[in-house]
Structures are given as C-alpha cells and as structure tokens.
Amino acid sequence: MINRITKQQYPAIWEDMLAFQLKELHHEHRRNSNYFTSWLLYFDETNLPEHPEIHGLWQTETFIGDHEYGIDESDLPDELYRVEEKKRMIEETYYEQVR
C-alpha cells in the first residue's frame, strides 16, 4: 500500500487539488489575512479512476492560505500522506461547588 505520494509521481492531482478537497483539517491565524492550513483529500473511482492504487484519504502538510488572495498554488505542499480516521475520547476532570 502506498502511504506517501509526491507531485512528481502524480502531477494531475496538483493541477486541480481543490476538486479533491474533502475538508480543511487545520486553520490557524498567522498574520494579517494569512493563516496556516492543511487539507483532507479523498480519491475514489469517481474522481480519480485511473489511479486505484491511491484511492482513500490523504492529508497535505501545513501550508499558507490567505483570506484576501486565496491560496497560491506555489504554496501547496509537494507531498501527500495517507491517513485513516481514528476517534478518541478525552476525559476531563473538573470541580463543582458543593451547595
């Protein structure tokens, strides 16, 4: 199973990466209108039938976006990493006043 792909291996993906975006995973303010972000991408037989070996969920590395100017294609990361959905429970200890 392939767990990492690069722009050199699959250049067609980078030509229209927005078409594969499933959701934004990370959005952190940087400065002015800039922000750091990473995307979750999904490839399947309907949107990328010619490459069944990479069907599934993939994540970009963090890159810079801009609210005013959009995303510069030169800022898109050159690698994608296969990911799988996991769930975790977070337990919180807190205290309430006794009445």
Give me the pLDDT at residue 79, please.
Answer: 94
Tens digit of pLDDT for each residue in 21-73?
A: 888 877 778 777 788 888 999 999 998 899 999 999 999 998 888 878 877 77
Reduced to 3 states, what is the DSSP secondary structure of residue 15? Answer: helix
Domain that holds residue 29: 4-82
3 state SS of 24: strand
Angle 13-26-4 (CA atoms, 0-180°, nearest 5)? 40
Does a structural domain hold residue 97?
no
Average pLDDT over residues 79-83: 95
How much is the pLDDT for 2? 92
pLDDT given at position 46:
92
Longest dimension (CA), the chain: 66
As for how many domains the chain has, the answer is 1
Q: What is the pLDDT of residue 1?
A: 85
On whether residue 95 sits in a domain, the answer given is no
Report yes or no on 17 lying in a domain.
yes
- Judge whether 39 lies within some domain: yes
Task: Tell me, yes or no, whether 89 lies in a domain.
Answer: no
d(CA 61, CA 79): 7
39, 21 contact by CB (below 8 A): yes
Classify residue 92: in a domain, yes or no. Answer: no
